């Protein structure tokens, strides 16, 4: 792997016409090897000292490159052990689970940074998404979802106010907040497509504009057919795999 990283770093240098800084070139070299599958989840990178020797870089340059990759969620660092390629998170399309449930199952610490958590009158477009009458109340959430220190998704969620009286009851998991009211969804429809992240979304996810992402649109329902949630989520394309089990009958 050391030779592959060295070759990719040198290749980027030879093709560079803009005098990219060394730490940014090293970050790109590691990311390219992860994207191409040369570096696998859980695989260790060479030590900082080895990288300095192999690439003729200073320790400050190598540390800056690695810290940027950790911040973007591509690497994890273990004290005394080194840097490792982050494990990709798998979400099943055959199970109705929350973001919080998925991360807790994998031993990650989920948290949210809210930009909006408000109550208002439903707009015509929101009324169609939630099957609500004009004048009904709606709760709007806009937040970034984190796994530990890494931003993983940006979400905009609508919930009928009648089903969730207090928007502040949502700390991490929406479904956990709905549970005491008997309004946890029992089924959902999801649509997924690949997108290039726009400037605003990419900035929130600590990624360059145009980075690959996954857009998931979910409408979740109660047992009586009422819509309890309408969510648009932009996920990092470098951190998630979505898996579905298929049957012939």
Q: Convert the pLDDT of each residue in 188-224 to its tens digit.
A: 998 989 999 999 999 999 888 888 888 999 999 999 9
Decide if pLDDT at 146 tops 70. Answer: yes
Residue 88 banded pLDDT, cuts 50, 70, 90 = low
For residue 134, what pLDDT is reported? 93
Q: Position of tokens 């979802």? A: 145
Query: Among 56-65, 70-79, 90-99, 193-202, whose mean pLDDT is lowest?
Result: 90-99
As a whole number, the mean pLDDT across the chain is 86
pTM, whole model, 2 decimals?
0.67
């Amino acid at each position: 792997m050391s030779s592959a990283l060295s070759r990719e770093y040198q290749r980027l240098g030879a093709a560079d016409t803009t005098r990219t800084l060394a730490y940014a070139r090293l970050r790109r070299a590691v990311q390219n090897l992860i994207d191409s599958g040369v570096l696998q989840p859980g695989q260790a990178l060479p030590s900082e000292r080895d990288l300095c020797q192999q690439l003729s870089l200073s320790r400050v340059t190598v540390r800056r490159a690695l810290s940027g990759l950790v911040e973007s969620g591509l690497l994890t660092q273990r004290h005394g052990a080194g840097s490792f390629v982050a494990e990709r998170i798998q979400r099943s399309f055959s199970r109705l689970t929350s973001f919080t449930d998925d991360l807790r199952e994998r031993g990650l610490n989920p948290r949210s940074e809210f930009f909006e958590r408000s109550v208002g009158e439903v707009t015509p477009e929101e009324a169609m998404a939630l099957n609500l009458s004009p004048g009904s109340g709606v709760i709007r959430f806009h937040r970034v979802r984190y796994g530990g220190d890494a931003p993983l998704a940006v979400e905009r969620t609508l919930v009928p106010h009648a089903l969730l009286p207090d928007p502040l009851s949502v700390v991490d998991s929406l479904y956990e907040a709905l549970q005491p009211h008997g309004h946890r969804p029992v089924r959902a429809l999801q649509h997924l497509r690949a997108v290039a992240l726009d400037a605003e979304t990419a900035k929130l996810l600590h990624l360059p504009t145009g980075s690959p992402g996954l857009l998931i649109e979910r409408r979740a329902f109660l047992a009586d057919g009422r819509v309890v949630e309408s969510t648009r989520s932009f996920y990092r394309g470098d951190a998630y795999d979505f898996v579905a089990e298929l049957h012939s009958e």
